[in-house]
Structure 1
Amino acid sequence: MIAVGGRRRIVWAPSLGASDRVLTVLAVALSAAGLLLVWSATRMTGDHALLVRQAVAVAGGLVLMWLVSRVDLRVLRAYVPAAYVLAVLALAAVLSPLGVRVNGAHSWIVLAPGVRFQPSELAKVTLALAFAVPLGELRDGRRRPGFGGVVLALALAAVPIGLIALQPDVGTMLVFAAMVAGALLVSGAPKRWLLVLAAGAAGAGATAWQLGLVRPYQLERLLVLANPAADPGGAGYNAAQARIAIGSGGLYGKGLFNGEQTAGHFVPERHTDFVFTVAGEELGFAGAAAIVLALCALLWRGLSIARDSASPYGAVLAGALVSWIGFQAFVNVGMTVGLTPIVGVPLPFVSYGGSATVAGLVAVGLLQAVHRTKPMQP
């Protein structure tokens, strides 16, 4: 206990404990499964460049995961303002001539021929670190954030969300909204703020509609979700082919590298947004369920870390990270089986994509940093 301003409170300090080995094993196993599925999805092209790039991203992400897990949270906290500013500038750069459009969204920056960077993935990490500050650093003996802290957190989230809306990248916007909601819940903020968040999201959607930011193909995807049989050769093609591929796998699948639907290019983006179809067809229900269970186990470990955190800051940070990974996994799997609209979000740790892979593994490193931070002894 330390006396501050006449009050006594518990202070968390840089003493570090052991890593969560289960969390590490799950992240490594999912990344390895992703490499196999990406290899299977791209093998018919004869070009192994995608597999090599993904392997490099996984290796780099694992190194960063280990490095981040060894850093004291207070050290990370000191660099949060600079990281937030850099993330916002990178998102703004996407809208400049430096950015390129891929699959209808202006979300990428080309670093070199064949090498692209997606700033919104970096922004997920920095946003989790940033809004954990006003929600998790409590003063004057408070047990939950006050009005000013919640407003500041929402303001910090509004800037990157607004820039992503201009791309437009609906999937990433929804992930950010889920992160904010998860952080508010873990922080203990009054539930009315979730209603404010929902109202703000509805208002943002209406504004985007009025300004013409909602693309026709995005509206068509919502209509297909309401009526899966509509336009199977057009707007509903992706969803229809994804369900056919997964259904054809049966209980145990056709065997790794033996998928006909995915290898035959019937499923678009089968190595990125629709990589789960490769698991469903080649590994069957058993293999696909194993991936889902591994993700659920990872999320459970993350929630346990948030619950047992030595500091409110660590708890809110872990809550935001778990909300990001959990929501994104739910939407990705859901859109392959017709439960959610196709919004273009990758399956965490499994889909091809260097930026997303590295960001996801860094998020696991942050969860480890929260887990390893122990409270200062009285």
Structure 2
Amino acid sequence: MAHEPFEITTNVRLFAERISLQVVVTDTTAALLCVPAAKRMDAEVLRANEAEVKRCVSGLYAARSGDKQLMPVSVDVTLNPENDLVGNVDYPAAGREALHFSAVHLARLKDPTYGATFTATGAGVFYVQKLLRADDAEVSFLPAGDGAGKESSFSEFLALGIEHILTGYDHLLFLAALLIVCRQLRTALIIITAFTLAHSITLALAALDIVQLSGRLVEPVIAATIVFVGLENLWRARRSEQELRGRWVLTFVFGLMHGFGFAGALRESGLPPGGMELIAPLLAFNLGVETGQLAVAAVFLPLLFWLRRFAWFNQRVLMPASILVALAGLWWLLERTVL
């Protein structure tokens, strides 16, 4: 799935005096896990079942330090503006032994498509990030006291940025749809530059908490941009190259929304709380996105320009490909709004 809206997001942060686990569960999944009689979580359901929901949240993960079971010392549950359940669970401070977390709740959902993103960080330390599934629900790491933690430096967030763009099929399809009608390298570079500048701006604004947009708005709009570009290709393909270069304005506007999508992925990676600590991860993640994007373009563009030399490609492939792009975007749009 493209840019999959994972039902469960977990961030663990190690402090000197405690281990803090925050889990965010979408409203329907939270009800399924904690209040099966309800269709979805909302303020009324939470108020009527608060004690039960707290017990549920405290048992979503089994935590161990070495062979010692870690028991929650405090549990708090709230709803965010989107009615997603936000659970905060504190455990005793970590020692020197390896920490193990098991997402025991995934087996209870009885659906292998459920995923839980798990990220663990500390003060200036990035430990691990993993997508947990019911058949692979455990993650382990050593606290920084044993020198196992890595300074949350450039390489970790650079790799995350590359991974996100290479697995963000909606972003790649959007860019490919913009480029497929280009006939000259200059036009392609103008479009790529516009996309890069736009999403870099909104990625920074969102990561720095200057501007925030809900993922429930951002993800459908990203899908809608793919539909629009796919359909626009049907009448732009025979335009002059000069007119195609003017497409950078559209690319820039749509790229702003894609930047908010990148920011959502960056926040899930366990960013430092703010200040100067945030600058290096932000730059590294954005550089990773650009590196992955340019790597794909370096393969895609030479192949595209070679194929465009053949009449059959221009006559029989370009338009059907654009229609398929629009249909893919329409499917994601429906999936993110009504399905």
TM range (shorter): under 0.3
TM-score (norm. length: structure 2):
0.26
TM-score (norm. length: structure 1):
0.24
Structure with bigger gyration radius: 2
More strand by share: 2
More helix by share: 1
